[in-house]
Each structure stands twice: as C-alpha cells, then as structure tokens.
Structure 1
Amino acid sequence: MSQVSRHNIVDSRGNHVILGKRVGSGGEGDVYEIAPHRMDVLAKIYHKPLNGERQEKLRLMVSGCNDDLKEFAAWPLDLLHDGKNGPVCGFVMPRITDCEPIHKVYGPSHRKESFPNADWKFLVRTAKNLAAAFYIIHKYGYVIGDVNEGNILVTKKACVRLIDCDSFQVQTRDTIYHCEVGVAQFTPPELQKSKDFKMLRTRNHDNFGLAILIFLLLFMGRHPFSGVYKGTDDMPIERAIAEFRFAFGRSAALKAMSPPPNSVGLPIVPGEVSSLFEQAFTESGLHSGGRPSANDWWNMLDALEKRLKKCATESMHT
C-alpha cells in the first residue's frame, strides 16, 4: 500500500481510521472503504509521500468544502495523516454509488447496455446537469483543469458527479496550486502544444472541455473535431483542435473538414445552441471569457429540454 502503514492512519482530530476493503486503484493512490459501517464515505491513500504544496492544497480544499460542492463532487471532507501530527497521506471523500462513466451515456452501444431507457431528453438533461456541476466548481473559485470523460459519473436519473477532485486547480491570493495533468482530446487549442500543464488554468479553458462533452452527449458520441479531412496528411483530433478545425461548424469547408458520413449535424438543435458550439470551438473563444460559460449552457439546455416533446409513434423518441 505504499510507505504508509494502514494501522497508523489518523484523521484531523487524531482519531485512528481503520481501512476496509480496497475498492479502487489509480496512478497516485488507492481508495478504501472505512471500517466499520462507514458506507457513506471512502478514503484515498496516496502511494508516495506528498510534498508540502500538495498537502497544503488538500488542506485548502477541505477547509473550503460546503454542501454545494459535496452535492456535485467527491470533494475532500477531511485529511488523513500518517500518524498523529504526521504528514498528510490521504483524505476522506463522499462515496458515490449507482453511477456510470459519462462515456456510457453518450456512446450509443454502451448506452443501450447501461442506460437502456435513456432517450434524447435524458442526454439533454445530463448535459444540463453537467453544466450545473461546472458552474458550482467555478462559483467557488476552483478550476477543474483536467476535464475528461474519466472524471465524470452519471446516475440513472441523469445526475452528474465529478471525481478525482484533488487534481483541480486551487488558487489563493498569493499561490496557485496547479492542475498538472490533462487529456488532449478535451484540451483547448491554446494549451495543445504545452508539454507541461503546470500553468495557470482558467474557467475559459474548462469551458472548452465542457463544450466538447456536451457535444458528445447531444451528437451520439461524435467528437466535434473528428471529421473527414480533405488534405493528404494525417489529422489527429489533437491537431484538429489546435488548428480550430471544427468538423461540424459553419467554416468547416474552409478548414478542409466535413462531418463524418451518416452523422447528425448542428441543424438538429436550435440555432441558439449551435451558436454556442461555434463560439466554443472557433478562434473567438480564445479571448478571456470568450467561450460559453457553464451558466450559459445551463440556461440554453434548460430551454431546449422544455421544448422537447415525446414522439407519438415511438415513445423512445423526442
């Protein structure tokens, strides 16, 4: 389990914490049940000792915890220490149950297995709730940074929960505690060429990843920068993003791109919604605050959901 003895872990009040069954494992640490009878929370224990900066970042997240954050995220609730007065070796977080990764919602084949009753209204509601989660994180001054499909879970009621919150960017008046990771297919153009994510991230950067995820939800798992390229060289998604080659956009032809065959396009959504995608994925989004905010998306998707009607012929169609 690393250099930390599982029999020597204490919480912030000096109480011994008994670890139960391991329920998850990642590159940075393992996740355990807390015994006995603590089914509402889990403990994350890091594999390696944390430097002072990482420990202070977790202290700030715990001190900033509130009911809004706990509703949408597996937010750090309490610090765990390697012995009394010892260094921070992990934290306690809410246990999130009955969820599936978001790719099982927007991927048509996965959706049939994991969400067999999900119609297009369910996808719109999931997108709306995702925007609400981003709004709450931004409201309290945090930046997600590492926006990607692996850090977002969805319930059978289309509620959204964010995990791996200890990677978020935390900023005080004097210090930035960076998010040092990222996934290329959700990274905005201005950061695509960076080899080191240890930089100031902004809400506008997060808003690019949010728009990608909303597009994936509304357009059957199609990535907005994955299309047919008319050039002779390779056009991986990361390069298409860096060069603003939005395959479904108004300027796609000028960028030598077109949507994939047999894919649905922007005309299936109201013009106000497609305009938000244009704003998010074109050069205009580079400016500070240039991309639609989480609140912009929530308002537009809420209006879209209210306009949906059930098909009289096929109940699964809206």
Structure 2
Amino acid sequence: MSNGMLAGGKTLVTEEGERVTVGELFGSGGQGEVYRVSTARGDRAVKWYYPQLADARQRHILEGLIEKGWDDDRFLWPRSIVMDPDGKEPGFGYLMDVRPARFQDLPALFRRDPSVRDATMRTLVTVALHTVEAYRALHSKGIAYRDINWGNIFFDPRTGDVLVCDNDNAVVEGGTAGVAGTMDFMAPELVRGDRGAQPGTQTDLHSLAVLLFLLLMNEHPFNGALALRIHCMGEAAKRKLYGTDPVFVYDPADTRNRPVVGEQPTVIATWAALPPILRDLFVQTFTDGLRAPAKRVRETQWRDALSQVLDAITQCRRCGRQNLTQPDGAPPDCWKCSAPLQLPPRLELVTATGTTLRTRRGIRLDPSARVYAHHLDGDPDRHDFRAVVGEVTEHPKQRGRYGLTNRTQAVWTVRKEDGSVRDVEPGRTIALQPGLLLEFGGGVEAEVKE
C-alpha cells in the first residue's frame, strides 16, 4: 500500500493510452503527492493533485507545458497527463522522470546534512551558475517559472549539476497560474499586491537573486537586524519585511537592516569573502531592482560574473581552503586562516567573434584548474564541465612545476618568449611560463600572464 491518495498496484492511464502501475509514495507537497510508477519503459514518477486543485486551469497549464515537448535534462518536465481509467479517483496527475538519487535538496546545506558534505566552494558557485543557465533557458522559451524557491532546485554535491523540479506551475509569459510564488522569494510588488503586478520573468529575476544569495551567503538578503526584532514571523511581518519595507542587509544607503554582530556571523563572514563583481550585482538587484524591476540583474549578467569567479577560485597554500577572488583583482587574505593568498599565473583567453577578437576571461592556473570547451566559446549557452580541453598537471619528477596538458584530439600551437614555435600533440604537456602564447584552433588564442 502507498498510504497516500492512490493505492499501491493501482493502474492509471496516460492521455496516449499508456498504462502505468502505482508503486511507492515518494512524498507530498502543497499541491499533491508524488509516486513511483512502473511503465513499459521503466520506472517513472507521477504527481497526483489533491482533488480541490485538479481544476480546469491547472489542466490547461499542464497541456500547454506538455505541448512544448521540452527535452532539457536540467528539468523534470511534465510528459503526459494521467487519469484513473475506472473513474474511481477524481482528478488527474502527470507523468515525469524520476529524480536520480545523486541530487540533493538545497535546504540540506542549511541542515549540514551528511549527504552534502562533499560540496565545496567551487561546487556551490557551479550550482549557482547552472541554476542561472537553467532559468535563462526556460525564459528564452517565453516561459516564466513563477515560483523559484529553495524547494524546487536539487543539486549534485560532487559535480554541481542541478535539476529543476515542480515545473507544473510554469506558464507562458503573460498567462495566468494559480501559484504566485513563495513569499520569502517573491518580488516586493507581488508581496504588496500592487495593481497590475503579475508573476513573470521579471519577478523571476528577483526570486533568482534571492536564491543565489541564500546559496552563497547561507542567509536571506532581507534577514538582518530588522528581522531579528520580529518576535512572531507571521504573514503580516513577512509582508513588511519582503514587501512594504524591504531593506537589503548590505544596502549602501540604508544601514537599518545590517546583519547583527554575534548573531549572524556566517553572512558577515561570507559577504566579506565575496568578490566585488558579485557583491555589486546583489546590491544592484536588491536596491535599484526593488523599486524598478527593469533594473534587476539579468541571467546573462549573473552567468558571466559567476563564470569569471569560478575561473578565479584559488586554493590557499597554507590551509588548503578554496577562496573566491576578484577576476583581475589583487589577492585577498584567505577567509579561513587569514594568510595572504598567492595568486597563480593567469591564462588570458581571446575568442574569435566574427572578424574581431575580444578577451573573454582569465583562468587562474591553480593546480586543479582546467580549460573547458565553453572557455573557447564567446557566448556559451551552457557551461559543460565534462568537455575538458586542457588540464593543469604537475611534472611527474619535479614537484611544484606545472604545465598545461592537451586533453583534446587536436594539435595546439605554442610560441615561447624567445620566439620559438612548437606543436603540442594530444596528451602532451607544455610548461607554464609567463609570456607563453597558445593557439587552440578556431581563432582562439591565449597567453600565460603573471
């Protein structure tokens, strides 16, 4: 027995006539219950709505999403509507893929759950980057998610891969949905109920920024001194905190809601360790963006900044901890042991765009650094960390001496400071020296700089 609305062993049928058999109950939420089901193509999942929510509007939304037929492995997308062929169970649900076990929920970070103990600073920045790219892809299809929050993003603690769940409330921009969002993540105009304000891609941008702040700072961007003074965090208190009087904890012009020393040490420490390139984006979206939605930070801005920060992560030589550094900036002190960081050489990449060349980014050549295929693309839609182009490796006999190993099937061309030119065959390594010029092919060039 499933101990839910649907009994174990019950048969449901999709609109295409495929029969599925109900198995175990995965869990329940605000809209319905999710079950494992067996199909002719293997195990899948079904979300079955509570009867009072299985209305014509929700069915219309589902039909529109299914018609999109979107095949993106970052989303558990609705595949087909399912019903009880006997008519004994009122309502309907929808069929989707099963969430793989490697994906954990984001609140596990707050709980310090053992399932996420492998997550590093690099992993968290990668999760942020993949999350931004996933919602950018959704918005590019003209679809607004409407309810971006902690509970809808799952991540792999080892790789930083993400999976967006609960996609049944996403609607085509301008459409209507029964869900306006989760108040902690909702744009202020929605919390206040401003006339004409509707959930859409513009309000998604606010929710996305809240999610990124929570992910990187381990705290809500409006939960500072003002929040700590609230004795009962009820709906009225939340409406003021997130809607009628929202104050960013690090608003440069309004210090009322600063984090409280001794009470909120984590956000104080993480903000101090955050590179200015990310701080500036949070300040923009949580100050100007609160009053003027058009000034909210766009997905491409987040993508470019997070990608640059990811490429500038540097390991402290004293304590071994990963540090976020400002691309092209001066070395900070290690956030853990306070030792001055020693920045490794930087690989400055230049990519071809039409008939012109432009600098894309610099990669800090830390001992663990890699060059990926997306580094060679002037405007990548998606960062793929499986497509390795080059890898920093240590000399097998001379410790502390590093080179860049060719992990492609193509031949690189390099030019040394003395003017000599040589080829780097697949699998071969070139020693890293300041002034070294590399040609990766396809008009992509790079130079090693101190």
TM-score range (shorter-chain normalised) is: 0.7 to 0.9
Change (3 A) 1:273 1:141: same
Aligned pairs for 1:115-154 (under 5 A) are 115-154=116-155
Tell me the equivalent position of 1:282: 287
The worse-fitting range, judged by mean Cα deviation, of 118-127 and 229-238 is 229-238
The worse-fitting range, judged by mean Cα deviation, of 179-188 and 54-63 is 179-188
Identity between Structure 1 and Structure 2 (%): 23
Shift of 1:239: 2.2
1:29 correspondence with 2:27: no
**TM-score, with structure 2 as normaliser:** 0.61
Paired residues of 1:226 and 1:237 also in contact (CA < 8 A): no
Residues in 2 aligned to 1:142 and 1:128: alpha-carbon distance in whole angstroms: 19
The worse-fitting range, judged by mean Cα deviation, of 266-275 and 94-103 is 266-275
Runs (5+) with no aligned partner, structure 1: none
Of 13, 16, 24, 2:16 maps to 13
What amino acid sits opposite 1:25 in the alignment? S
Aligned pairs for 1:140-179 (under 5 A) are 140-156=141-157, 157-171=159-173, 176-179=175-178
Bigger share in helix: 1
Shift of 1:233: 7.5
**TM-score, with structure 1 as normaliser:** 0.84
Runs (5+) with no aligned partner, structure 2: 324-450
SS in structure 2 at match of 1:216: helix
Tell me the equivalent position of 1:310: 315
Change (3 A) 1:104 1:194: same
Residues in 2 aligned to 1:78 and 1:313: alpha-carbon distance in whole angstroms: 55
Q: Deviations over 1:280-317 (max 9, x none)?
A: 11144443432112222111100110011112122343
Residues in 2 aligned to 1:87 and 1:60: alpha-carbon distance in whole angstroms: 21
Paired residues of 1:100 and 1:155 also in contact (CA < 8 A): yes
Change (3 A) 1:224 1:189: same
Change (3 A) 1:13 1:5: farther
Residues in 1 aligned to 2:7 and 2:141: alpha-carbon distance in whole angstroms: 32
Residues in 1 aligned to 2:48 and 2:228: alpha-carbon distance in whole angstroms: 49
Tell me the equivalent position of 1:227: 224
Shift of 1:36: 5.5
1:91 correspondence with 2:90: no
The worse-fitting range, judged by mean Cα deviation, of 129-138 and 86-95 is 86-95
The worse-fitting range, judged by mean Cα deviation, of 27-36 and 57-66 is 27-36
Residues in 2 aligned to 1:56 and 1:259: alpha-carbon distance in whole angstroms: 44
Shift of 1:193: 2.3
Shift of 1:260: 2.6
Shift of 1:35: 2.0
Shift of 1:166: 0.8
Change (3 A) 1:233 1:315: closer
Of 230, 247, 250, 2:249 maps to 247
What amino acid sits opposite 1:259 in the alignment? P
SS in structure 1 at match of 2:322: coil
1:102 correspondence with 2:102: no
Shift of 1:7: 4.2
Shift of 1:30: 1.9
Residues in 1 aligned to 2:229 and 2:12: alpha-carbon distance in whole angstroms: 58
Residues in 2 aligned to 1:35 and 1:150: alpha-carbon distance in whole angstroms: 25
Paired residues of 1:20 and 1:36 also in contact (CA < 8 A): no
SS in structure 1 at match of 2:207: helix
Residues in 1 aligned to 2:269 and 2:71: alpha-carbon distance in whole angstroms: 39
Tell me the equivalent position of 1:54: 58
1:66 correspondence with 2:50: no
Tell me the equivalent position of 1:185: 184
SS in structure 2 at match of 1:186: coil
Tell me the equivalent position of 1:201: 199
Q: Deviations over 1:91-144 (max 9, x none)?
A: 111111222111223x2x515x22223222221111111111211221111111
Q: Deviations over 1:207-242 (max 9, x none)?
A: 1111111111222x1211111249987795542332
Paired residues of 1:76 and 1:91 also in contact (CA < 8 A): yes
Shift of 1:53: 2.2
Residues in 1 aligned to 2:249 and 2:201: alpha-carbon distance in whole angstroms: 24
Change (3 A) 1:52 1:291: same
Residues in 2 aligned to 1:43 and 1:54: alpha-carbon distance in whole angstroms: 15
SS in structure 2 at match of 1:79: strand
How many pairs are equivalent?
306
SS in structure 2 at match of 1:133: helix
The structure, 1 or 2, with the larger RCO (C-alpha pairs under 8 Å, 6+ apart) is 1
Paired residues of 2:20 and 2:39 also in contact (CA < 8 A): no
SS in structure 2 at match of 1:187: coil
Change (3 A) 1:249 1:272: same
Shift of 1:21: 1.9
SS in structure 2 at match of 1:185: coil
Residues in 1 aligned to 2:84 and 2:227: alpha-carbon distance in whole angstroms: 57
